[in-house]
Structure 1
Amino acid sequence: MVTIGDVARVAGVSRSTASYALSGKRSISAEVRQKVEQAVQNLGYTPNAGAKALATSQTKVLGLLARFLEDEFAPAMLQYILGVTNRAREAGYDTLLLTEEDGASALKRISDSRMVDGFILLNVAENDDRLGILRDAAQPGSLVGLPGDPTGIDVFDLDFVTAGRLMVETLHALGHRELILVSQPEHVLERGGAYVWRLANAAQERAAELGVELHHHFGSSSQPEIGGELVGLLDAHPSATGLLLNNEAAAAALPNVLQSRGLSAPADISVIGRYSDDFARTFSLPYSAIDSAADELGRLAVEHLISRIEGTADAESTVVDLVAPRIDDRGSTAVPPTRH
């Protein structure tokens, strides 16, 4: 096992100088620091996490609470997890992923054990039972998802209200006057998935303002159910010229559904989804979509949490940062087809 003594020997400096060069606790010349860093790279040295925690009162670990729920599309959740873990790794932090169904109990247990320096919560519900425990925890926390009461916690989320309006406005500007909106399963909403109703309500309100007929339906989160439901919706609303998808499973299923009916986008129907660019590449989706901003939200949550941990954030205030939606244009929207 490589030790700090080995690093010092190869770099030609004392053990304490090597330690200071790595910790940054004292001013070290650029030349010496470069020698130490080169020795670390050559030897493959990794600082002892336990010793570092004792010295800094930090574990350099972030707790990430996420749940893989049967009624939500797992690949979409993975995009958010990767957004957090990738940025944490870049910042020198490991991630402890907690997927227990009883998230409140897991959060309290890990907080009391001091195993992590801070927490990031996904699957945030309107009235989330983890928030009271997080507010009382010794460690700071960040949320990816807007709860009903964000008091005292930093929050990062997509602006789903603006997203819903933008979807409708984009197709209305092209001349569409009848649209279908497919949301997540209804029990996601009942469980507290407020992002579902925030987008749907905003879309319905904007449609009414613009004189657009909007048919709103809750879709399943898995195949083959969602494929059959999309077929049924297209049959039920044959004069609809636009399809809005706030349901990743529906977006993934749509190419096969349209192909089976001899339809294409945008020649026969315009489509706007809501999912990440990585998600679109994974499923080869050719549809324009509002980027769910999974990477950006993960980055913001991690960076702000680390600033809390390291004492550089304003301790007197918290942040609610709603990322403005943008449409990644993949060519699936156009003026509506002429119907005979």
Structure 2
Amino acid sequence: MSIYEESTNPKLGRSKMNLEVIKLGDGWKHYHLKNEKGMEVSILNYGGIITRLLAPDRHGQLENIVLGYKDLKDYKSDSNFFGALIGRVAGRIEKSSFQWEGKNYLLEANDGANHLHGGSQGFHQVLWNAEPFQTSKSVGLVLSQRFLAEQDGYPGNLTVRITYSLTNDNQLVIDYQAKSDQTTPLTLTNHSYFNLSGRLKRTVHNHVVTMKSERYVELDEQLIPTGKILNAEQSSFDFRRGRKLKEGISSEDKQNLIAGGGYDHYFIFQEAEEEVIVVTEKESGRRLTIHTDQPGVVMYSGNQMSDELELSEGSSKKHLGVCFETQASPASLHHEGFPSVELKADQPYAKQTIFTFDTF
């Protein structure tokens, strides 16, 4: 059934929402979700990867605003984590090890001496069980999987359930749920690269970001937290009143230079804030608003992206997309005072991030 056709559900009546599933071989399936306003999201059961997201500009023109590969099989060897689910622990773990309840755990070193985004066989490389759904207000996909204790170096048998919901209010809601039979580190996120210009027409230099954060985490030369939390005031890291990304990309601030010209830093949110991040792109008129119950976000401005990748709308280049990885901080495994990644045994993990798309 084509996503461009109206569908009829006996319980819902006639609806312009639609869902299409394409089988790709090797167990891969590509799910295309469409809401009543025409917004579309495409997701692979492999890695839970968001491959495409069509959102309107101020003239109603629907265009893709996330980075993804032209050839879907390139996701198998993707070092950029385009659109992927990240776990068990999003971010870098120093020296690929941590001590937990008196035991030392060694993880795969897949980023120099450090462990990045759950390792080379993290959630982004998993073939997830997938179940599509449709309600009167949304169309979506539930992904689930079970991970055995220490198969990836982490303690605890872990069950995970991720729900993507595309609503008729042009919201993409991601609900993360998990439970472990042992206390374990866990913080999950999605690694989509956004470019609100549409079809990668421009880099993200002139994207304006407003963020409710006055503190960010200092990094060393290996992009590992030093243990210091810095005050963002009067720096290129202060987004409370809005700032173009190019100000950090071109900044001579040591922290911007360490990141490769831009941002790859964890920002700690101010408490009791609901609307924590707003991103705008003036020429298209698109606006992205992010709400989350996570304590912070890694904002990554695509500083390490090479220029030889074949993407769905052209070749890759530095600063072609910006990620907002809502999560807790893996620095809490080695330092005090950081948002904790601890999930206690048999306690539910439940986090939500909502991406709202509109125009101004």
Larger C-alpha radius of gyration, 1 or 2? 1
Judging by fraction of residues, say which structure has more helix. 1
Q: Which TM-score bucket, shorter chain as reference?
A: under 0.3
Judging by fraction of residues, say which structure has more strand. 2
Question: TM-score, normalised on structure 1?
Answer: 0.27
